[in-house]
Structure 1
Amino acid sequence: MEESLRNLPDAPGVYQYYDNQGRLLYVGKAKSLKKRIKSYFRFTPSLSPAPNLSPRIYQMIAQTKRLETFVTPTESDALLLENSLIKQLKPKYNILLRDDKTYPYIYIDRSRPFPRFELTRKVVKGKRVKYFGPFPHGARAILDSLYELVPLVQKKGCLKGKKACLFHQIGRCEAPCEGKITPEAYDRLVEEALGYIHNKRKIVRALEERMSFYAEQLRFEEAAAIRDRIEAIRKIEEFSSADLARLEDLDIFALRFEGEEGVLVRLFMREGKIVASSHTRLRNAEDADIGEIYRRAILEFYTEETPFTAGAILTAHPFEEQEELARLVSGRVGRKVDITTPQRGARKRLTELGLQNAAELLRQRSKQSEAGVEEKVRDLLGLEELPRRVEVFDNSHLAGEAPVGAMVVYDEGKWDKQAYRHYNLTSRDEYHQMQEMLEQRITSFDKSPPPDLWVVDGGETLRRLAAGLLERAGVNLPVAGIAKEKIDAKAHRAKGAARDILHTDGGEIRLLPGDERLHWFQRLRDEAHRFAIAFHKKQRLKKEKKISLLEAKGIGPAKVKRLLDYFGSFEAIREADFETLCRILNPKDARSVMDHLHNKETAQEKVI
């Protein structure tokens, strides 16, 4: 260590601290590696942690036995490398930001004669593309409402045809495919839809009228769908009372701590109104580096592929790297972006609003009981932190056919279904299927960081497999396995008394059937199993339908692909009429598909 400290470069870069077992403790960046790293240590009378460090950082330096440095050409490169390494490797003393999702935007390309509103999470090329958002909540609800309230072109494929479809017959489209509306008249419909986007209370009022109509007509399912959409849109309006006289577009980041808990709040102001918000909870955040959290949150939110719709970025606290970070973000989004901490006026009130909401989120969190099953699981497994976010893996196949994998995510007592993932696998046996799936997940840590715990559906062999893959990747992440007890070579499945065994780094654990900790693991395993089985059935059905379609005379793989590209699913192909099929195939092939599908259905009905 002393030799490494004496030969540090006076250059920008990234440094890593390791303990005596080679585990990564911390990743940091510096304008000068020499000055930053030496500030952590005292050299006389012997090498030791500097006395002015916080208790948490003092403990980290006391555990540090080895350091590595990476020199970068610029400080911007150091910022990027630091952020990437923290996300992928999950160092013990860095704060891990969970909510690094890219939020959806609604966009429209006005260069088209009959444009449609669409959702995107990436930049769409085009000089007349207009974005609205981001929307952490309710983007799909707004989009569906636009198409329900305004007779726009309803589907992407509508304009490919030359004949009005069902949407025109029920009054949901003006049939530009048949020339029944001019581009100028259609543009007025677009402006009407834009009015709904800018005034979401207007959407809610219109939807409430539609919901009442459906209820009076006893169309309760449709009324319930509208009700759910209204609730989703109202969530967006939670902060709408905070308006500015100036029509500014601002993104506000505010950070607040209370003990080991922290919250980062994001507010999105468009045209002088707060239109959306999101937040990220921070764990083990005591003595955290505020600048590190702000810069990583901003770097993860504004990527090269993310539409940038704000005029400036405000933070509730100043930090050292603001100017460098502003230059980096400006380069990413292609225009000048300021990152400032306002000291007075209306913008200062906005950052204070962010801090107030962070304080409220922390207050709500403190009212919840912390001594729940998660704490008991932490003690059972000897974990360093609560397993609040857990990823659970299972695979499914039928005699090696259609092998698939599934990952479900449990986050603070709820299923995070947006984070669920399916995996199409190629391996025949369960061991290599699990290996294939876990390797794919590890490669995605740079986009979606590791959780607090992995759980695999399987015994010690699969648990060791997962732990070995993580160790080779340099990731600090505990793994547990859950497997059914074998009695006479068969899994014991007695109803109400399942004898599942937990496999951990510390050995095998057998809990009583009524133990809530065992029930916790069983719920995780059962959800992963359900999700894997459902996807497996879907893939098998898809394969069987494709084979069935290929049995039609004159229909090969290329024609099946053209049909799927146009219709999107086998169900839509089956429901299509002859004229619609003729848009993709010649009349002879269209008739062959129609005869084959209908004859097959008739034969199945006779068998039944």
Structure 2
Amino acid sequence: MIEQIRGLPHQAGIYQYLDEKGRILYIGKAKNLSKRVKSYFNLTPSLSPKATLSLRIQKMLSETVGLHYIIVENEHDALILENSLIKQLKPKYNILLRDDKTYPYLYVDMDETYPRFELTRKIIKGKSIRYFGPFSVGARDILDSLYELLKLVQKKSCLKGKKGCLFYQMEQCLAPCEFPIPHETYLPMVTQGIEWIQNKRKLIKQLEAKMEFYAESLRFEEALVLRDRIDRITKSELTSQIDLASTENYDVFAIALNEVRACILRLFIREGKVASSTHDFIPITPYFSIDEAYERTLIGFYGNEKPPIIAPILTAHPFESNDWVQEHLTELFGKKAKIETPQRGAKKELIDLALTNAKELLRTPQPTNEHLLHSIQELLALDSLPRRIEVFDNSHHGGSATVGAMIVYENGRFDKKAYRTYHLHERDEYGQMREMLTRRIEAFEKNPPPDLWVLDGGATLRSLATDLLGSHGIHLDVIAISKEKIDAKAHRAKGSARDILHFAEEPLRLESSDKRLQFIQMLRDEAHRSAITFHKKTKLKIDQTSKLLAIHGISTPKIHRLLDYFGTFDAIAKSDFKTLSELIGAKDAENIQKYYRGNISK
């Protein structure tokens, strides 16, 4: 390894430190690979970590036995590649943040004859467009409230009609499609909507009055809907007494931490006021670095698309790769990006506000099952605490409607928005699991890996998963859970099932009363429920469509042949005539396309 370090090129790139098993410990970037990597080591009299390094880095280097590197064109490419590889490969000593989703904005195009508010996550073409946001929660609630409280044009298509529609009859629109509504009448409503977006307390006051009216009118369900909406809108912002005495915009990022976790808080200042905020928690491990946390937060938040509103960026702490991130954002924004850590004045007050709220959020209770997760980590010798767990199962009936499901458990609850379902082509259980896990691995760049995989199956499927991960250079804890066999039949007696856990060479059998086994069984059962539910929906669709196709002369074996090849009826509908002809013949291919064209036209 010492000769490899001495021979490193003086070029930009990324480097990877590997342990004795070939697993990636850390991925870093460098303007000059040779200088950067050499800064970690003493090369004489023997290779050793420099004593001036932090304990975290010294520990990492003590485990390092191998080095890989990739040369790129420039520093910007190095930053992008580093971020992409960290997401996909989840190195032990890097920080992995999941919050790289885009947040919605509200916007209004003032060039329209009758402007209306809409949601967007991207820049909309137009010279007179005003954006508001981003919003972590409540954007749709704000939009719905504006259309309920103001008689705006409700939908784009409304103006194409020539007569007032149901919205006009419900007194929710002035119907400019039918009546000559003057701008002097319409535009004040747009101005009112903008004021409510910028001062959500005024909007909430209007909603509370409407909620009270519903309650007094005994319309309790409608009142409850408004109550929940008010709650979501309230959560989207922090209250502040800070007066910037200006109409400036800022994106503020602050990280506070205690012994066990860190809180990352994002605060969005628009036209001198707090527009919204969002936060995430990440665990504090021996490998935590606040410098890397800021870098990952900024890169993840802005992503790879220019945001609708570009604001100066304030961070609560300086961080090592500030210049790298600033250069990357400058290229992304198409204008000079500015990242600073203010030390005084109104901008410092914004930093203090963000830090105060981040520290307050740290005081909120952690998930109640934290102790149980630590116990499972110790029992199964997991590399990391399984805070986020993905569980896989598949389902079919006689080889038809073969599907798979992935469920996600995080922060003490099932994250149903993160669930995924898969149409599978393979016939056997092994092939189905391989197909599903391969597709999940291929999606790691967009949706990073969790802390733990749980498979419904035995040691063979667990080995399959670890082999697949290893072939992609990913180290991820994997366990499998299989049913106890009694007289060659699965024993599933409620309350007494002793399922078997597979995580090492020897299987583990726990008592049915063991809370750790019950927790993993709960995860497996939820994945099974999700797979069965999706299978039933798929089977119903197949049966219904098969009957319709049979009427058009397509036999059941040919339908199965098409499904085996294409996977879904949607794919069959979009297929080309040549492929269909090769599979089932020209006449039936023509009937298939006639059938789907008929459905589309309807």
For the criterion TM > 0.5, the same-fold answer is: yes
Structure 2, unmatched stretches of 5+, are: 553-568, 574-597
2:34 matches 1:23: no
1:9-408, aligned counterparts within 5 Å?
9-155=9-155, 158-159=158-159, 164-179=164-179, 181=181, 185-259=185-259, 261-286=261-286, 288-305=288-305, 307-364=307-364, 372-408=371-407
Distance in 2 of aligned mates of 1:378 and 1:80:
33
Q: Is the 8 A contact 1:425 1:433 kept in 2?
A: yes
SS of 1:376's equivalent in the other structure is: helix
Deviates more, 1:253-262 or 1:89-98: 253-262
- Give the drift of 1:306: 5.1
Q: CA 1:436 to 1:547, structure 2 compared with 1: closer, same or farther past 3 Å?
A: same
Distance of aligned partners of 1:177 and 1:394 in 2 relative to their CA distance in 1, 3 Å threshold: farther
Cα shift at 1:522: 1.9
Q: CA deviation at 1:89?
A: 0.5
Work out the CA distance in 2 between the residues paired with 1:183 and 1:547.
Answer: 55
Distance 1:397 1:115, change over 3 A: farther
Which residue does 2:458 correspond to in 1? 459
CA contact (8 A) 1:16 1:24 kept: yes
Contact residue 237 and residue 277 of structure 2 kept, 8 A? no
Shift of 1:494: 1.4
Equivalent pair of 2:198/2:275 in contact (CA under 8 Å): no
Partner secondary structure for residue 499 of structure 1: coil
Residues 368 and 167 (structure 1), Cα distance of their counterparts in 2 relative to 1, 3 Å cut? closer
1:183-215 superposed Cα distances (whole Å, 9 cap, x missing partner): 774444333322221121122111112212222
Identical aligned residues as a percent: 54
Match of 2:587 in 1: none
Compare 285-294 and 27-36 and name the one that shifted more: 285-294
AA aligned opposite 1:256: A
- Taking the aligned partners of 2:344 and 2:525, their CA distance within structure 1 comes to 54
1:447 corresponds to = 446
Deviates more, 1:440-449 or 1:479-488: 479-488
Q: Is the 8 A contact 1:463 1:479 kept in 2?
A: yes
Deviations 1:559-596 (A, max 9, x none): x99xx9xxxxxxxxxxxxxxxxxxxxxxxx99x98xxx
Q: Which amino acid aligns with 1:81?
A: L
**1:12 touches 1:31 (CA, 8 Å); kept in 2?**
yes
Give the aligned residue type for 1:453: L
- Rounded to whole Å, the distance in 2 between the matches of 1:509 and 1:466 is 18
Structure 1 window deviating more from structure 2 (176-185 vs 513-522): it is: 176-185
Shift of 1:36: 1.6
CA distance in 2, matches of 1:213, 1:551: 56
Call closer, same or farther: CA 1:201–1:546 in 2, change over 3 Å. farther
Question: What's the counterpart of residue 568 of structure 1?
Answer: none
CA distance in 2, matches of 1:4, 1:25: 18
Which of 254-263 and 377-386 deviates more?
254-263
TM-score by length of 1: 0.84
Report the CA distance between 1:141 and its aligned residue.
Answer: 1.8
In 1, Cα distance between the equivalents of 2:242 and 2:485? 61
**Distance change >3 Å, CA 183–CA 359, structure 1 → 2:** same
SS in 2 for 1:237: coil
Whole-Å separation in 2 of the counterparts to 1:132 and 1:361: 25
Which residue is 2:557 aligned to? Answer: none
Which SS does the other structure have where 1:209 is aligned?
A: helix
- CA distance in 2 between partners of 1:436 and 1:184 (Å): 61
CA distance in 1, matches of 2:140, 2:530: 23
Seen in structure 2, the aligned counterparts of structure 1 residues 428 and 353 have a Cα distance that, compared at 3 Å, is same
State the 1:259 CA deviation.
3.8
1:396 and 1:403 in contact (8 A); partners too? yes
> RMSD between aligned alpha carbons?
3.0
**1:570 matched residue in structure 2:** none
Output the CA distance in 1 between the equivalents of 2:455 and 2:405: 11
TM-score by length of 2: 0.85
Please give the alpha-carbon distance, in whole angstroms, between the structure 2 residues aligned to 1:541 and 1:282: 42
Q: What is the CA–CA distance in structure 1 between the aligned matches of 2:172 and 2:545, rounded to whole Å? A: 32
User: Which residue is equivalent to 1:499?
Assistant: 498
CA contact (8 A) 1:100 1:448 kept: no
Residue in structure 1 matched with residue 555 of structure 2 by the alignment: none
Cα distance 1:395–1:132, how it changes in 2: closer, same or farther (>3 A)?
farther
Structure 1 residues 120, 528: closer, same or farther in 2, change over 3 A? farther
- Partner letter of residue 96 of structure 2? L
